[in-house]
Amino acid sequence: MSNKFFLTSLSLLLILVSLQSCQTIIDIDQKEFKKRLVMTATLDADTTISVFVTRTVGALATGFPDSITNAIVDLYEDGNLLFNIPYASFGNYAHNYHPVIGRTYKVRVSAPGFDEAIEATTSIPAPPQVDTFSYSLVPSTTNQQWSSNALEGSITINDPSGENYYMIKAVDIYADTFSNEEYSSMLYLTTDDPLIGNSQQYSAALMFTDFSFEGSVYTIRFKSESYGGSFGSNHLTYKVYSLSRESYLYLTSLQNYYNNKDNPFSEPVQVYSNVSSQMGILGAVSKWETLIF
């Protein structure tokens, strides 16, 4: 064995020993995680009250947050305590009370084992004033294989004075005559209206403000890339929502979060919260809807 081979083998051995000696076990000093309550609720004048209560979890936690089953959930209307919302199931607190349009509501949540109670406030907006609506079904350009249609629609809103927030949905309701059940799904809509926001906003719901047409009558046009419904077994419904400011900011920031979360070049998106703990949302909506066919 030559000296050259011996020196090479010795060098490799020394490198391996050096690498092994560089391994270090780091003990992470995990400080006690401070649990905080989280509430999620959207108040709707057309439906009963439902408030979902969970808690925050650590960064290394897996799975869904734990539901809180022993919370005290108080509902205030225009500053007056109405009642305590009882626990229903799976972290959901429900009551058969319908919120009133124009009233302001506060929800306060406390629970044993949590140092701080949380609360948030919102107001129920008036329903949107829809003057006209229309639709047409045209051959789809993206799903010819299944003979689908594309939906082209428009809705004209008579916008009142003040700051207003809107959301448009097109909902396909399929009636299964065999099981006597109904199933609903939202059509993904796109618009090239520059006043709404993105020139090609594409989502299951179009959200926009009246910033560019405040106090006037405005028509929003939209379409879906494909629509597989038929007149015999499907029904199409337009739903136009008035959103509280809190709901609009939460939903748009949540949409941006999901749009950017897998993009390594995008900036992080902070999801909006109006809850005192800065985790969760208490929003409000009212809606106008009509069955197209």
Q: List the structure tokens of 269.
A: 């998106």
Instruction: Give the residue from 243, 263, 288 where a domain finishes.
Output: 243
Nearest to 164 by CA among 223, 215, 130: 215
* CB distance 243 to 208 below 8 Å: no
The model's pLDDT over 77-134, given as tens digits with 9 standing for 90+, comes to 999 999 999 999 999 999 999 999 999 999 999 999 998 999 999 999 999 999 999 9
Q: Give the pLDDT confidence score for residue 200 in this predicted structure.
A: 40
Q: Give the pLDDT confidence score for residue 144 in this predicted structure.
A: 52
In a domain, 290, yes or no: no
Q: Give the pLDDT confidence score for residue 6 in this predicted structure.
A: 43
Same domain for 151 and 190: yes
The model's pLDDT over 3-21, given as tens digits with 9 standing for 90+, comes to 444 444 445 444 444 445 4
Same domain for 158 and 207: yes
DSSP class of residue 285? Answer: E
Residue type, 195: L
Q: What CATH number is associated with residue 164?
A: 2.60.40
Same domain for 168 and 117: no
Instruction: With a cut of 50, list the residues of the chain below it in pLDDT.
Output: 3-10, 12-19, 21, 23-24, 26, 28-31, 59-62, 199-202, 231
Range of the domain at 69: 37-123
* CB distance 103 to 77 below 8 Å: yes
Nearest to 282 by CA among 290, 291, 273: 273
In a domain, 157, yes or no: yes
